[in-house]
Structure 1
C-alpha cells in the first residue's frame, strides 16, 4: 500500500476498536471472530479467465483465512462434494458410525461478493463507480474508470457483504490499485506466498494479477474496518425465524392462560416470535399484527 493508504487505513482502525487489528503481511488480523462467511463468485461477465487468473473468490478466501476475521464456509466445489457424500449416506452406502446427516452444516452469517467496477455504458452496464462514490463519499470516486485496465495496469474493484438472514447489505467498499502500488515481498513469502498456497497463483505471478490483488486487499482492509461494529453472535442478534402451527390452537392473551383468547389459530399459520418466553410459552405475532402467547409444543420452524 502507499503511505497515504496506510495513513487512511490507520484512521479507519481508530473507528473500529473492538477488532484490535494488527498488520500481518499487509492483511488486517482480527482479535475476535465476526461470524461465518461464504465468498461467492460474482455473476455476469467473467473477466478473470482471459487474464489467466483464478476467480476473485479464490483471492478473497486467502485474505479471509489470513485475517482470521471470519470462519469461512464453502458454498462452491467443496459444498458439491459434501452433498455427494450426504447422498451416499442417505442411500445407505456409507459405513455405520460415519456421522453424516441433517443438522450439521454451519450457516453463513454473511455473504461476500468480490467484483470489478463497471462503467461500460455502451454494453448497457451500470455506473457502479459513481454509485459507490455517492454511497461512500469515497475519495477515489473520480479515479474509478471501470474494471481492470490492462494497458494502464490498473484495477478498480468492489466488495459487498450481505447479511444472510435479513438480506441487508451491511458493507460496501472499493479498492483501486495501479502497478506503482504493488510491492510483493517475494513469491515464497508474504502475500505472494499466501496466494500461491491458496490456489490464486496467477495473482502473484503476473503484473495485472498483482495489481488486482492489491486493489482487493485495499478493499478488504477497509471492509474489516467497517465491520468492526458487527455483533459477536450474528444468529442471536437477528430477528427470530418464523414458526408454523402444527395443530389447531389459540393465541392467548396471557402466558398463564388467563383472559380471553386473542384469536383461533389454524395449522400451517405463520407466526413470528418476539423473543419473549415464559416457560414453554412463547410470545408471537401473527401476519396481521395480533400479539399473544402459544405453547412451543405446538410450533415448528417454518421452512
Structure 2
C-alpha cells in the first residue's frame, strides 16, 4: 500500500471510531500566524519503542504544518531554526519527570531574562506543563521546545490517552504523518492522541515561547564565541546542557553528525553547536 492509501485508511478508520464517553476527541489547535521555524528531533526518553512504534518526528512535523503554528526548518536556508522541538514518550512517571525538569528550566530562563513579567498569564501557562499523574495505565507523551541558540527549554506540554478517540476529519496532513511514522495500530493511534494534546499545550504558551526565543537571541548576541574547525560524532551519544555526564540531555546525537566547537571546554567536555544552531556539551571521547 502507498503512504497516501495508508493515510486515507487511517482517516477513515479513526473517523468511524466512537468518541470516548467522558472526554470529547481532541482537536488540533490552529494558529493565525506562525510562531517561527522549528526543527524536530527525538528526545532522550524514546518510549514509543515499547509499543513497537517508530520515531514520531513525521507526526510532529505534520502537526506543526497542519496547525500553521510552526514552519518546518529548512537546513538549506543557511539560517538556524527559531525553535528545537523534542518528542518524548514512556511511562507516566518518565513523562511527569521530563516535563517537571523542563518547567523548572523554562521558568528560571524567563526570570533571568526579565521576560517573565512581560508575558501575560505566564503563571497559568506554566500549569500546562503537566500534572496528570495517576495509577491507571495510560500511553503518555510530551513535547519540549528549546532554544537552538542556548539549548534552554522554553516550553513543554504533555498529554495522555487511555483509549483512542482521535478523529482526523480535515487533517489529511496528520493522517499522512501517522502513516509515515507507522502509527496505524491502536497504540499508535493512542500515542497520536497524546501528542496532539501535548502539542496543543505547547501552542497555548506561544507568548512565553516568543519571549524566551528573543531572550536567547539577545544572550547569544551579547557574547558570540569564535567558531573553531568542525568536529564529528564518533558514536551515538548525547549533547548535554552542562559539562557533566549527568547533565540534562539537550538532544541525542548519531554517529557521523557534524558539529562546530564554540571554543569553550570544561574538563573532558567541549561545547558544540549543530547545523540548527543548538549548542551543548559533548564528551571529547565521543568525538573524532
Q: When the two structures are superposed, what TM-score results if normalisation uses the length of structure 2?
A: 0.51
How far does residue 173 in structure 1 lie from its aligned partner after superposition?
Answer: 1.3
**108-117 vs 232-241, which moves further:** 232-241
- Whose RCO is larger (CA < 8 A, sep 6+)? 2
Q: Provide Cα deviations, 1:235-293, integer angstroms capped at 9, x if missing partner.
A: 69821253579xxxxxxxxxxxxxxxxxxxxxxxxxxxxxxxxxxxxxxxxxxxxxxxx
Shift, 1:53, TM fit = 2.5
Secondary structure of 1:216 counterpart: helix
Counterparts of 2:175 and 2:91 in 1: how far apart (Å)?
28
Match of 2:152 in 1: 168
Aligned-residue offset at 1:177: 1.2
1:53–1:209: 8 Å Cα contact kept in structure 2?
yes
| RMSD value, Cα | 4.2
Mapped pair 1:143 → 2:112: no
Shift in alpha-carbon separation, 1:194–1:53, aligned structure 2, 3 A = farther
- Checking the alignment, whether the CA contact within 8 Å between 1:182 and 1:214 is kept in structure 2 is yes
Q: Cα distance, 1:137 vs. partner? A: 5.1
| Residue in structure 1 matched with residue 83 of structure 2 by the alignment | 110
Deviation at 1:233? 11
1:48 deviation in Å? Answer: 2.9
Offset of residue 209 of structure 1: 0.7
* 2:119 is the counterpart of 1:131: no
Distance 1:134 1:144 in 2: 19
How far apart are 1:232 and its partner, in Å?
8.6
1:212 aligns with 2:191: yes
Say which of 202, 209, 228 aligns to 2:207: 228
Question: Over residues 175-208 of structure 1, what are the superposed CA-to-partner deviations in whole Å (9 max), with x where a residue is unaligned?
Answer: 11111x51424xxx544x4344236455652111
Whether 2:33 is the aligned partner of 1:43: answer: no
Task: Kindly tell me the number of residue pairs found equivalent between the two proteins.
Answer: 186
In 1, Cα distance between equivalents of 2:52 and 2:208? 37
User: Where does the alignment leave 5 or more consecutive residues of structure 2 unmatched?
Assistant: 1-18, 105-125, 227-288
Structure 1: state its 5+ residue gaps: 7-24, 83-103, 246-303
Q: Which has the higher helix share?
A: 2
Q: SS at 1:217's partner residue?
A: helix
Normalising to structure 1: TM-score of the pair? Answer: 0.49
Q: Which residue is 1:198 aligned to?
A: 177
1:51-107: CA deviation from partner (whole Å, max 9, x where unpaired): 343312221111001111112115xxxx6xx6xxxxxxxxxxxxxxxxxxxxx4121
Q: Distance in 2 between matches of 1:43 and 1:174?
A: 15
Asked which structure has the greater CA Rg, the reply is: 1
Write the distance in 2 (CA, Å) between the matches of 1:41 and 1:236: 25
